[in-house]
Amino acid sequence: MNPLQALHSEQGQSVWLDFIERGMLEDGGLGRFVASDGVRGVTSNPSIFNKAITGGGRYDASLRRALARDPSLRAEALFWELAVEDIRLAADVLRDVYEDSGGGDGYVSLEVSPRLARDTGGTITEARRLWERVDRPNLMIKVPATGEGIPAMEELLAAGINVNATLMFSMRHYENVAGAYLRGVARCESPQRVASVASFFVSRVDTAVDRALEAAGTPEALALRGKAAVANSRLVYERFVTIFHGEAFAPARARGARVQRPLWASTSTKNPAYPDTKYVDELIGPETVNTIPLATLEAFRDHGRVERTVDADLDGARAVLEALPAHGIDLDAVTEQLQVDGVRAFAEAFDALLAALEARRRELGGA
């Protein structure tokens, strides 16, 4: 069996594709990933859209149609035109997965503007606008897990809007998001209709921690390289099980609410010294999602190992994280900075995309 399909059939883990672009939607590529590889969802972010929209002429026809309707449209309005078209197309491809799974999978994620990461009210307003504009039940609105994003998530979930909570790097981030989910579904009239995932970033943690370990330079420090990210994620999964299979979630479960699954994000391998499927191989388990970039998906299809690993050696995971302070590493500080950097990187990608769209708008005759 294709290892990607076996992740779901044998281990209860869903594969979502961390990629979207017009060509894949128009030529049936996404449908083939669903049929052949068992892909059960799609995620997007400003960086993905930046690469897709500025990578060729696939979007010119849509741009021309939009400008024909209103030549005064500016870059941000044009972006949302293109993004909503892509998200609708992808949602329609995945609609059968959504229906067949009873709303468990088949979702496509669209992120609010990264400029709103520190604006609770603005996030809620834009999320509601996008939810109504896309008009698909298998849409998830991505909201960053900043201090301002947490109350926005709660309000959106209470209103019955599916949420992909993103840019989490630490246990504190995860617990804040899980708390927002519990509060939100408690206030939701029909919690059985709401779905949410908690997108926990993986490889970026190793990139930052490894850099600090190499700066320390001792044999003991160097021996910890490549271990912090998986350890961090496994302990979050342990916390997920405690929350969602314990008393905290029992009232919501009784009302039909589904668990908020951990979603492993940033699972491409950044360090070429590590296996190219490392962050898939080592985080396999039930009630989880792995959102996988194309290159990593192809690598796992070729040589991925399918076995439950997400809760393997939890004592070893704790030992890894407990060893970091002895080498001058404050993981809380590292992960807080990673969230700040992530918000900034998405904002920069969004700004670059808008600049490129503005230039293209002028080339195509926009007013």
CB atoms within 10 A of CB 90: 26
**Which residues, at least 6 apart from 231, have a Cβ–Cβ distance to it below 8 Å?**
316, 317, 318, 320, 321
CA dist., res. 17 & res. 298, Å (int): 11
Alpha carbon distances (Å) from 37 to 29, 56, 94, 367: 11, 27, 13, 45
Listing DSSP states for 149-185 in one string gives HHHHHHHHHHTT--EEEEEE-SHHHHHHHHHHHHHHH
Q: Which helix (H) or strand (E) holds 142?
A: strand 139-144
CA dist., res. 206 & res. 212, Å (int): 10
Question: Residue 142 catalytic?
Answer: yes
Alpha carbon distances (Å) from 289 to 74, 160, 199, 243, 331: 36, 21, 9, 17, 24
Tell me which amino acid residue 175 is.
E
Q: Which of 51, 142, 270, 278 is catalytic?
A: 142
Say if CB 26 and CB 93 are below 8 A apart: no
Residues known to be catalytic: 142
